[in-house]
Structure 1
Amino acid sequence: MEILLPRYLQQRRRRWYAVLDIPKTLRPQFGDKPRFVQSLETESISVAERRVLSVVASWKVRLEAARTGKPEPSVDLAQVALDWREALDAAPDTDTRDRYELILSDKADKAEEKREGAGVELFKVATRQWLETGEMVEDWLQTLDNEPKTIDMKRSDLKRFSERFRLTLHVERKAVQRWVDHLRSQEHLKLPTIRRIISACRGYWSYLQRLDYVPDDAEPFRDVVPRPAKKSKRDIAERRQPFSDSDVVRLLNASVAQKDENLARLIWFGMWTGCRIEELCALRVTDVSLDRFQINDAKSEAGWREVPIHSTLAPALERMCAESTDGYVLSGLTENKYQDRSNAVGKRFGRLKTRLGFGSSHVFHSIRKTVTTQLDAAGIPEAVSARIVGHDIPTLTYGVYSGGAPFEVKRDAIMVLSYPLQELDQPASFGST
């Protein structure tokens, strides 16, 4: 006996029924029943095949509404089309597929009677003549070697893209340009965000071209986003600014006053090294030695480096390593879903600096700028400073051919860092005096 979709059709006492399993996590919302079951009111397999997909599609809409908490939309022909595509792909032979296509054609005619163009879309999506824009997104994402957070961001960008353009045949340059204009004027997205979205779309589109799902000569994303303009006075004013030396001490005192030990240690660690917050939070005890520590998981090649330990930092750093309970220098930090240990403590720093009156141009990275400002003011050569804080060195001589500054040179350079420690409320807690 030929059965269309074993998962969806079931015969009981000669009558055909539509069936669909309910995921265990959603069953409480449906009276704990394990599956949907509905009689198709027929003993004919051909009639059952015509009726089952629309029934199952309506159930899937209910499940999605239960999963997301959003109201149930009307049954979407797109889901019906994908169900039919699955049926056509599963057809055991050519004769069966031809029979399915006749049934599909009949259903498409009825859809066309209700809304012009709906039947054509149903038939062509089901028979793979047209592609749903978002249906290959997960396959593409699996080919990428990005961090989980970046993958999630691209997934979000492409969800926005596929909601705007349900079918790839609608993705044309003028339409994309109108979408970009909409993102700017109606959704008020900034140009860097739009460039990121279009970049993800361009990468995904290239993947579809390699698989011959879209034409090779189609360039719907070419020049749709304005090029970066020359920075205005406002842009320059809003750029991240360094904290003054006294401001860093104020932040430190405030973190101690609110008894946030990890935040105080983070600030103390950052002000004597110029390291990024992610580097400090990810540093392991095993990467610290007597007079230096190694950054082995930086965001760029230049960031992988050896950092001298300032003599004022050394006592507190030694104590942090000795007291660690989890192998990290900054012990006890929580992780987010991307295993990022800097997220929560970074937010606490943001609330702290806002409470002290600092705006968006001052962030934890501003302490890094404080360090580089001090190195610059002391006349430390840029190549040496870059080796300490992990900046790229653009020149061919130093950036490509140089083996790096000797450790002694970097140690002497970092020793120029100084702060008004007499302003510390509890200097002994950091081992500075």
Structure 2
Amino acid sequence: MAKANNLELQGGTYHVRLAIPKDVQNAFGGRRILSLSLKTGVHKEALDRRLPILATWKSQIKAAREGKQLGEGWQEEVVQTLEDLDALTQGQKRALVGEPAPPLPDVDPAFKAKLMNSPRFKEAMLMLVGDHLKDGIGGRVHIQDELNKGLKDILQKRLGTDYTLTGEQGQELEVLVKDPASYKARSPITKARLASFRTYRLEHHVALKTVNQQESKLLNLSEHLQTTDTKLDFDSVSAWLQGMKLSSKTKQQYLLAGSQLWQWAQQHEPQWRQTFKGHVNPFEKHTLPTLKGRAKLDAKRKAFTIEEIGTLYSAAKEQNIGALPDLILLGAYTGARIEELCQLRKEHLITVDGVKMFDIVDSKTVAGIRQVPVHPKLTALVDRLTKASKDGYLVTTDSNNKYGIRSDALSKAFGRLKTAMGFDRTRVFHWIRATVITQLVRADIADRLIKELVGHETGTVTFDVYSDGSSPKQKLKAISKLPTLPTV
């Protein structure tokens, strides 16, 4: 298929593609094309998902064109080199007056021989030493100071030659060479590092929403480190967590974001490995407050009763809240997740062995990809939705955010409805699944079959790997035992 909008359809799945200009192909390892699966066969979703990836690629191409740039954190490397040089010089001064001093670093013999045979090096050393040797220890100390200054000048000139420095970088480098102590350490969680982390994760098919949410958390930590002028370690992470008025569960998500960055950087960032050599992961082994007893039970999300679902359906219908009444019915008679229902299209209505089924082709888990029989109470609704569909989807919604999620607006509408009806935050649409599971259990449906219907792994190799699962008729018999909603 011809490429359009940087998209190419391959085997029913869209890929985003971008040609690498010839002048920067070497910077990309000789590659001519950048390509990444968008994991969707829906054109509109692919159009949305390609944008952040294209933006990242174009930014990398721009950087390659602008020449070799100093990376984020270059100041730390320069300061470390300058401090090492000062320490070496100080050690040599101590040795001159008979004090213990660390040995000089080993020099490659071949390199040393090359220097000693270089006329330019001999001339430079002669100019440096001059008549200072006649001045005894004081003269030798002066030589060490001059050598220190000369090496720093070489470092500054070499960086200016090897890299394309901005005016600001040039000025900052000059200040650092004169006074390394003037530099205030910055957070190692830089925007450039996060950009590399983002590219890696998108290439490994981590959901864009997850990438964005975790990046936001990491930027929060970076700001904390810079504001408090602290290093990235266990204590600074602990203080960061304590300063946030969030639940332990949410704080655990912050720790997960940090730990995943740490693990990636240890594998793929040489500078990070050098900086944190010998350090343990500062995002591990934090003790967070946990709820116990009654408090834990009160905070747990709760299933709706059959009567409550019927009441919610009636209220949504009376208030004419778009497709919400239909969505509630679909959830109550399938146990499917809200986004799974909103992604159902007309072609996902299939007939297998004489049984009409919902073909759920995409889910948050592998087990979630399944076929669920159309409950007898949904037959008329499904026929109506199929005939009325204008875009191919069974559930009509204007919501389709940047992550391709269609359920967002309806989920919020459900939240407003249940709150207005007196339900607390423990009652959410997702817990209609719990109601369905509870009713199937009470109807004596086998545990394995319930998991097949709602998209949960059984936890056994026998059923998860080797078995093709229950037959459509067995599934229909089971799902048909769900009780009829009152008022419907």
Deviation at 1:120, TM superposition (A): 3.0
- Choose from 230, 245, 258 the match for 1:201: 258
| Mapped pair 1:213 → 2:271 | yes
Change (3 A) 1:107 1:228: closer
Deviates more, 1:167-176 or 1:338-347: 167-176
Matched with 2:10 is: none
- Distance in 1 between residues matched to 2:426 and 2:306, nearest whole Å: 16
Deviations 1:350-408 (A, max 9, x none): 11111111111211112111111111111001111111111121234333332211111
Deviates more, 1:275-284 or 1:164-173: 164-173
- Distance in 2 between residues matched to 1:270 and 1:234, nearest whole Å: 29
- Choose from 337, 362, 366 the match for 1:297: 362
1:363-402 equivalences under 5 Å are 363-402=428-467
1:90-109 equivalences under 5 Å are 91-92=160-161, 104=172, 106-108=174-176
Deviation at 1:227, TM superposition (A): 6.3
Unaligned runs of at least 5 residues, structure 2: 1-71, 80-155
Matched with 1:147 is: 207
- Choose from 327, 330, 333 the match for 1:272: 333
Kindly provide the amino acid, as one letter, of the partner of residue 334 in structure 1: S
Structure 1 contact 295–303 (Cα < 8 Å) conserved = yes
- Distance in 2 between residues matched to 1:206 and 1:177, nearest whole Å: 19
Change (3 A) 1:362 1:385: same
Deviation at 1:169, TM superposition (A): 8.4
Matched with 1:136 is: 193
Matched with 1:25 is: none
Deviation at 1:121, TM superposition (A): 3.7
Structure 2 contact 258–283 (Cα < 8 Å) conserved = no
Structure 2 contact 256–283 (Cα < 8 Å) conserved = no
Kindly provide the amino acid, as one letter, of the partner of residue 321 in structure 1: T
Matched with 2:235 is: 174
- Choose from 221, 235, 238 the match for 2:296: 235
- Distance in 2 between residues matched to 1:166 and 1:335, nearest whole Å: 37
- Distance in 2 between residues matched to 1:353 and 1:88, nearest whole Å: 68
Change (3 A) 1:335 1:137: same
Deviation at 1:103, TM superposition (A): 5.7
Deviation at 1:225, TM superposition (A): 1.9
Structure 1 contact 246–419 (Cα < 8 Å) conserved = no
Structure 1 contact 252–267 (Cα < 8 Å) conserved = yes
Change (3 A) 1:158 1:222: closer
- Distance in 2 between residues matched to 1:375 and 1:121, nearest whole Å: 62
Deviation at 1:324, TM superposition (A): 0.4
1:247-396 equivalences under 5 Å are 247-290=308-351, 291-396=356-461
- Choose from 206, 219, 225 the match for 1:165: 225
Deviation at 1:230, TM superposition (A): 7.0
With the length of structure 2 as denominator, give the TM-score of the two structures: 0.60
Runs of 4+ with deviation above 6 angstroms = 78-82, 87-90, 99-102
SS at match of 1:289: strand
Deviations 1:317-340 (A, max 9, x none): 011011100111112432122121
Deviation at 1:267, TM superposition (A): 0.7
Structure 1 contact 308–414 (Cα < 8 Å) conserved = yes
SS at match of 1:303: coil
Structure 1 contact 384–410 (Cα < 8 Å) conserved = yes
Deviation at 1:299, TM superposition (A): 0.4
1:14-33 equivalences under 5 Å are none
Kindly provide the amino acid, as one letter, of the partner of residue 407 in structure 2: S
Matched with 1:66 is: none
- Choose from 199, 221, 245 the match for 1:188: 245
Change (3 A) 1:409 1:92: same
**Count of residues in correspondence between the two structures:** 327
SS at match of 2:358: strand
Change (3 A) 1:359 1:107: same
Kindly provide the amino acid, as one letter, of the partner of residue 406 in structure 2: R
Unaligned runs of at least 5 residues, structure 1: 1-77, 425-433
Kindly provide the amino acid, as one letter, of the partner of residue 386 in structure 2: C
Deviations 1:273-314 (A, max 9, x none): 111101001111111125111111110011000100111101
Structure 1 contact 380–413 (Cα < 8 Å) conserved = yes
- Choose from 172, 179, 183 the match for 1:120: 183
**Superposed CA RMSD:** 3.4
Structure 2 contact 237–283 (Cα < 8 Å) conserved = no
Change (3 A) 1:363 1:100: closer
SS at match of 2:339: helix
Matched with 1:75 is: none
| Mapped pair 1:225 → 2:286 | yes
Identity of aligned residues (%): 29
Deviation at 1:420, TM superposition (A): 4.4
